[in-house]
Amino acid sequence: MTWFGAGLDGPLVAVRAVHFAATSIPAGTLLFRAAVINPGASTATPAVAGSCAEIRRLAAISLAIAAATGALWLLLVAASISGLSLTGAMTKDVLTTVVTDTRFGKVAALRGGMATVLAMALAGDRFAAARGLGLAMAFGLTASIAWIGHAGSSGGALGSLQLIADAGHLVAAAVWLGGLVGLAMLLQAARCERNGASFARAREATMRFASIGLITVAVLLSTGLANAWFLVGSWHGLVASLYGRFLLLKLALLAATLAVAAVNRLVLTPRLQRSAGREPGFELLRQLKRNSLAEIGLLSLVYAVVGVLGSIAPALPS
């Protein structure tokens, strides 16, 4: 199956996109819980406790999806390398060869180990050490995608810089997407609980996440520019190559996402900071949640485009 008339492998593109997004959710949501919710744990409300529990469940579900799509991705690569059908490639000999003899297979095996450790950490989430280990594994699982992308095929010092930039880009995107999911959960819980304490905690979390968001966007934009320079290299490559045109689509979606984020950061968040836990304040929570969901939807489209970009040869040889 091919898409867009360009020989793209449709199933592989879809699997990659879902895998990228599913891998990002545990990293972003667990960081949101640790850095945004937990600093005020001494004043935890039922809304906060419920949000933390929901974050753990969502991280576990997303990890299961990431594991399933990661396994399917490995099978699709094995079928492509061996020239066999998907079912024909599901043999010990073919899979062993891919895992032991290819860069993709070796990284996939390493990432499978990290996913297993993350699953165990989530199972023991009541312990602080397990939460720290889980967060580290979630970020490792996200950053390691760079080793099986265009950046991972480059060598030398320049290749190392490209790899670092790509890993940073992936991590920043995960913090943004997963953080928005965690924020939307907390805002919804606070609106349902509807009291002064839950409103205060939601307001604090929103302000804290807004500060993290500024850093995240700065990292995302700087690493994105670096990746574009490594993989496109010129304005002509940006507009004349298939890779460049999909990159422009990604940039357009990111610009729309940033516009929604700017409304949250520059308009709604300052109003929330000045408001009290009365009806106008809860209406602001509703608006922030609505805009957060819009950002999540736009970022999901960005991940779909990223799934395509990973299947296209860059404008410059990597």
Q: 263-296: per-residue pLDDT in tens?
A: 999 999 888 888 765 666 788 999 999 999 999 9
Kindly report the average pLDDT of the chain as a whole number.
Answer: 88
Within-domain flag for 104: yes
- Residue matched to tokens 């924020």: 183
**Residue owning tokens 């001494």:** 42
- Distances in whole angstroms, Cα of residue 141 to Cα of each of 23, 100, 316: 7, 19, 27
Q: Of how many residues is the chain composed?
A: 318
Please state the rounded mean pLDDT for residues 3-9: 53
66 within a domain of the structure (yes/no): yes
85 is a domain residue: yes
Range of the domain at 82: 2-309
CA–CA distance, 300 with 305 (Å, rounded to integer)? 9
How is residue 161 written in tokens? 């810089």
The yes-or-no verdict on residue 101 having pLDDT over 70 is: yes
Quick one: pLDDT band at residue 2, thresholds 50, 70, 90? very low
Whether residue 266 lies inside any domain: the answer is yes
Average pLDDT over residues 108-125: 96
Q: Is the pLDDT of residue 315 over 70?
A: no
DSSP category for residue 265:
I
Per-residue pLDDT, 240: 81
Residue 38 is classified by DSSP as G
Does residue 264 lie within any of the structural domains?
Answer: yes
In this structure, are residues 51 and 182 in contact, taking their beta carbons and an 8 Å threshold? yes
Segment 15-28 shows an average pLDDT of 96
Is 168 domain-assigned?
A: yes
Q: Which residue has the higher pLDDT, 199 or 112?
A: 112
The reported pLDDT for the residue numbered 217 is 93
Structural contact between residues 318 and 150, judged by C-beta atoms closer than 8 angstroms: yes
Write down the residue that tokens 């307001």 correspond to.
203
Residue whose C-alpha is closest to residue 310's, from 179, 117, 71, 145: 145
Measure the CA–CA gap between 126 and 237, rounded to whole angstroms: 50
Residue 43 CB neighbour total at 10 angstroms: 11
- 233: alpha, beta or left, given left = phi > 0 and alpha = psi -120 to 50? left
In a domain, 19, yes or no: yes
pTM for the whole structure: 0.89
Domain count, the chain: 1
Return phi, psi of residue 312, to 5°: -110, 140
Residue 314 lies in a domain: no
